[in-house]
Amino acid sequence: MDIFRVLTRGASVKKDTNAAKQLRDVDNSRNDENSEQKSSNNLIKEDVQITKELDFFRNKRIVNRIEKQKELENKTSAEPTINLTDNTDNGTIPKPIITNKEEARILRNTYKGNITGNDVPLPIGSFDDLITRFSFDKRLLNNLIDNHFTEPTPIQSEAIPIALLDRDIVACAPTGSGKTMAFLIPLLQQIIDEKKVVGLKGLIISPTKELANQIFLECVKLSRSIFFEKKRPLQVALLSKSLSAKLKNKVISNSKYDIIISTPLRLIDVVRNESLDLSKVKHLIFDEADKLFDKTFVEQTDDILSSCTDPALRKSMFSATIPSSVEDIAQSLMNDPVRVVIGHKEAANSNIEQKLIFCGNEEGKLIAIKQLTQEGEFKPPVIIFLESITRAKALYHEMMYDRLNVDVIHAERTTIQRNKIIERFKSGELWCLICTDVLARGVDFKGVNLVINYDVPRSSQAYVHRIGRTGRAGRKGKAITLYTKQDALAVKPIINVMKQSGCEVAEWMDTKLTKREKESIKKGKAHKDRLQISTVPKVDKLKRKRKNEMINASKRRKELEKGNKLISKHNKENSDGSN
Ligand SMILES: Nc1ncnc2c1ncn2[C@@H]1O[C@H](COP(=O)(O)OP(=O)(O)OP(=O)(O)O)[C@@H](O)[C@H]1O
C-alpha cells in the first residue's frame, strides 16, 4: 500500500497550467455533442503547446479522468493496492491509466510518439498501470521508488509494455530520456517471472566499457533485495576482464548469473572459448544499437546473435539515432517488431540550446574557447570533444598551460584512469573534461552545462550523441560547435539537425557551396590535415625548445661535475688511507 502512496504523490501538477487545462478540455469534450470537432481543435492547441517544449520529463500531463478513477476504485475496493483517492482536491491530477486506443492516442500526442507495427500494445500512463495490467513485482516497484522514479518517461511508457508482452522492439528516443530504465524495468520483471530457469537469461550489449559499467550499476540498483527460492539473489554481472578470466578458468560457474552486461568483444571472447553459454538467453538488448550494427562492431554483433540459439529469443534495439540502414537490418533480424519513435527522429534533444561558432582557422578555435571563458559562457561542468587522441592530448596540454581545471579521457588511458577521471568529474572536483568519442554515447553525467565540439563531428548521429551529454533528464543544456573554413562541408549535417530541432542558424552559415568549393574542401581532407592545436607561434615554440635543451644540458653538466668531485674525493681518501 505504502509504495503506491509514494508513487501517487509524485504526480503533482497545478490545475491551472495550460497543458493540464487543455488536456482536461480534451477529456471533457468527449461527452459533448460536437465532441469530435472540439477534440480536434484542442489537439491542435495541444500540438502547439508541446512542440514549443518537448520536455520529456515534465510536460507530460495527462487527461483528468476522475470519474473513471472513481469507477475503478469502486470495482477494486476489495484489492487495497492502488491509491486512487488522494490528490484531486489538492490541486493535482490523478495518474492516468490507459485503457483504450483513444486515451493512448492522446497520451502519445503529448510526447509526439510515433508507434507502428502489428497489434501495438497500449502504453502505460503511470507506473500504477504496471500493477493493473501486469502483475508487477512489488520489490521491483519499491526499488523504482527508492531511486525516485515515480513517473515513466515517454520511452518507458511505450517500451515497457511492449517488452512485457514479449514483443521485439526497435526504439528511437532522445538522448537522456530514460532509455536505460525502459529496457531494464521489463527485463528484470521477466527474469523474476522466469525464476525457475537457472542460467543466463538476459544479455545487454553496449559499445563501450563506460556505458556497460553504467548500465550494470543501474541494474544493480533496481535488482536490490530481489531473491529467488533458497535465498538465491537475482544475479547481475558486468563482464569485466577479471570476470571473463574467472569464467575461463572455471572459478565461477557460467550459469551463476541471470543477467550479463558486456561490450561485444569481451563477450565474443568468452563465448568462443566456450566459457559462457548463450543458449538459454531469452532477452537480448542492444543499447546504442546503430553503433553495434555499424562496420566497427557488426561482425561481433552477428556472432552474438548466432550464439543466442533459443528460438523464443526476444530482441530489443535502443538508440537516440537509428538510421534507416539499421532499421532495415532490424526488420530482417526481428520477429514482428514494434517500432517506437519519440519526438523528431533526426532532431537532437529539445532541451539543448545549440550554437555554431565560425572560427576561421584552427588557432581561432583556441581563441574562441578563451573568449567563451571571458564572457562567462564556459560554465562548468563542461565537456569538450575532439576527433583524435593526439588532438585531445594537445588541447589538454594547452588548457593545463592556462591553469584550467581539466583532464582528458581517450582510448590510451587505462580503465582505472578513466574511471577515476569520471568520478572526479561527477563529483565536481574536475570542471572540464576533454575527450574523444569514447564518451560520446550513453554516459550519463548529470548537470553538464555545456558541450563543446572542438572538432566538428563526422556525422549527424555522432553530433546528436555528443551534445546529448548535456540537457539530460529534463534539464536544460547548451552545445557549441566550433568550425573552420575546412569544415564548411562537414558542418552541413549539423546544420540540418539544428534546423530539425528548431534552433536558429544564421543564413550566412547555411549558404550552398559551389562544386569548386566542395572539391577544394575535399582535397584539403578536412579531418586529416588539421593544423596542430596551439596558440604559441612557431618561433616561440623553437625558443622554448632551445631553452629547455639548454637547461637540460646545464643540469647534465652539473651532475657530471658533482660525480667527478665525488670520485676525486674518494680517490684522495683512499690514497690518504694507504699512506
Ligand atoms: N522515470 C524517470 N524519472 C526520472 N528520471 C529518470 C527516469 N528514467 C530515467 N531517469 C534519469 O534520466 C537520466 C537519463 O537516462 P538514460 O541514461 O537512461 O538516458 P538515455 O535515453 O539512455 O540517454 P542516451 O541516449 O544518452 O544513452 C538518468 O539520470 C536517469 O536516472
Phi, psi of 532 (to 5 degrees): -60, 155
Upstream peptide bond of 381 is cis (omega within 30 degrees of 0) = yes
Residue 523's pLDDT is 63
Residue 232's pLDDT is 86
Q: What is the mean pLDDT of each run of 10 residues along the chain (579 residues)?
A: 26 31 35 37 36 39 40 44 36 70 94 96 92 89 93 97 97 97 98 91 96 97 89 93 94 93 96 93 97 93 96 97 92 95 91 95 92 93 96 92 85 92 93 95 93 96 97 95 91 94 86 70 58 63 75 86 82 69
Minimal-distance CA residue to ligand 1 atom 31? 178
Minimal-distance CA residue to ligand 1 atom 4? 149
Ordered by where they begin, the domains of the chain are 101-342 (3.40.50.300), 352-523 (3.40.50.300)
- ipTM, two decimals, is 0.99
Pairing outcome for strands 169-172 and 259-262: unpaired
Q: Report the SS3 class of residue 304.
A: helix
Residue 334's pLDDT is 95
Structural contact between residues 150 and 8, judged by C-beta atoms closer than 8 angstroms: no
Residue 404's pLDDT is 73
- 87 CB within 6 A, ligand 1: no
Structural contact between residues 258 and 191, judged by C-beta atoms closer than 8 angstroms: yes
Q: Which of 153, 290, 451 to mutate to test the pocket of ligand 1 (most atoms within 8 A of CB)?
A: 153
Rounded CA separation 170/553 (Å): 64
Rounded to the nearest whole angstrom, what is the distance from the C-alpha of residue 178 to the centroid of ligand 1? 3
Paired residues of 301 in beta bridges:
none
Element holding 203 (H helix, E strand): strand 202-205
* Residues in contact with 89: Cβ distance below 8 Å, sequence separation at least 6, in sequence order: none
Amino acid letter, 502? G
Residue 488's pLDDT is 87
How many C-alpha atoms does 61 have within 13 Å on its Cβ side? Answer: 26
Paired residues of 408 in beta bridges:
434
Residue 200's pLDDT is 96
Structural contact between residues 424 and 407, judged by C-beta atoms closer than 8 angstroms: yes
How much is the pTM? 0.78
Residues 538-556 as b/e (b if ≥16 CB within 10 A, e otherwise) read: eeeeeeeeeeeeeeeeeee
Please enumerate, as own/partner, the contacts of 321-326 that have beta carbons within 8 Å and a separation of 24 or more: 321/172, 321/290, 321/460, 321/461, 321/464, 321/465, 322/170, 322/172, 322/289, 322/290, 323/290, 323/461, 326/289, 326/290, 326/293, 326/294
Rounded to the nearest whole angstrom, what is the distance from the C-alpha of residue 473 to the centroid of ligand 1? 6
Minimal-distance CA residue to ligand 1 atom 15? 178
Structural contact between residues 149 and 7, judged by C-beta atoms closer than 8 angstroms: no
Residue 75: exposure state from Cβ atoms within 10 A (0-12, 13-18, ≥19): exposed
Paired residues of 261 in beta bridges:
204, 238
- 175 CB within 6 A, ligand 1: yes
How many other CB atoms sit within 10 Å of the CB of residue 331? Answer: 13
Owner of C-alpha cell 548529470: 446
Pairing outcome for strands 113-116 and 338-342: antiparallel
Residue 377: exposure state from Cβ atoms within 10 A (0-12, 13-18, ≥19): middle
- 444 CB within 6 A, ligand 1: yes
Rounded CA separation 428/406 (Å): 11
Rounded CA separation 295/205 (Å): 16
Residue 578's pLDDT is 57
**445: nearest Cα among 422, 429, 463:** 422
Phi, psi of 475 (to 5 degrees): -80, 160
Structural contact between residues 337 and 493, judged by C-beta atoms closer than 8 angstroms: no
- 177 CB within 6 A, ligand 1: yes
Residue 531's pLDDT is 63
Minimal-distance CA residue to ligand 1 atom 2? 149
Dihedral sign from CA coordinates of 528, 530, 411, 382 = negative
